[in-house]
């Protein structure tokens, strides 16, 4: 299950940022954008995240995943289309091969929701 490794990579990326923060905030929600044309299965990613967060700085965080559809652009037809993953990647109209990918390769942190470490302090928006 490679989502375990993906989750480790996610933890590393967030940790690099987190340790550089002067006040290390408590992360409440990690929002991810996951494209449909990646090797990531969102349910497995959530499962791996919940299993691996125990005892780490992300211990109380939840993972929210937003899917991004796979959209390609055909330069011949000047049209966008949605390839059928596992079946057909060429342009359905003119059969040109898959060229530019407009979306679907995302594996991005879209947002982190954090809480101030001291809960009694008023919460400020940055």
Q: Looking at residue 60, what DSSP letter applies?
A: T
Q: Which residue has the tokens 């995240």?
A: 49
CB 65 within 8 A of CB 3: no
Residue 102 within binding range of other proteins, rule CB under 8 A? yes
Compute the least distance from the CB of residue 24 to other proteins, in Å: 12
- Span near other proteins by CB under 8 A; candidates 54-62, 74-82, 110-118: 110-118
Distance of alpha carbon 69 from alpha carbon 35, whole angstroms = 6
Compute the least distance from the CB of residue 58 to other proteins, in Å: 13
Residue 107 within binding range of other proteins, rule CB under 8 A? yes
Compute the least distance from the CB of residue 54 to other proteins, in Å: 20
DSSP H helices in 1-126 = 3-19, 42-52
Q: How far is CA 84 from CA 21, 44, 71, in A?
A: 42, 22, 10
Compute the least distance from the CB of residue 89 to other proteins, in Å: 5
Distance of alpha carbon 60 from alpha carbon 12, whole angstroms = 17
Question: Using CB under 8 A, which of 14, 61, 63, 74 touches other proteins?
Answer: 14
Binding residues for other proteins, rule: CB under 8 A, are 1-2, 5-6, 9-10, 12-14, 16-17, 25, 28, 32, 37-40, 85-90, 97-103, 105-116, 123-126
């Amino acid at each position: 299950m490679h989502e375990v490794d993906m989750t480790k990579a996610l933890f590393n990326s967030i940790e690099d940022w987190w340790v550089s923060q002067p006040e290390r905030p408590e992360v409440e929600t990690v929002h991810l954008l996951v494209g449909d044309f990646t090797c990531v299965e969102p349910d497995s990613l959530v499962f791996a995240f919940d299993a691996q967060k125990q005892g780490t700085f992300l211990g109380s965080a939840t993972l929210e995943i937003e899917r991004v559809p796979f959209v390609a652009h055909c330069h011949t037809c000047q049209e966008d289309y949605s390839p059928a993953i596992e079946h057909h990647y060429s342009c359905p109209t003119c059969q040109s091969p898959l060229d530019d990918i407009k979306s679907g390769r995302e594996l991005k942190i879209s947002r982190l929701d954090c809480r101030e470490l001291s809960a009694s302090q008023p919460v400020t928006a940055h």
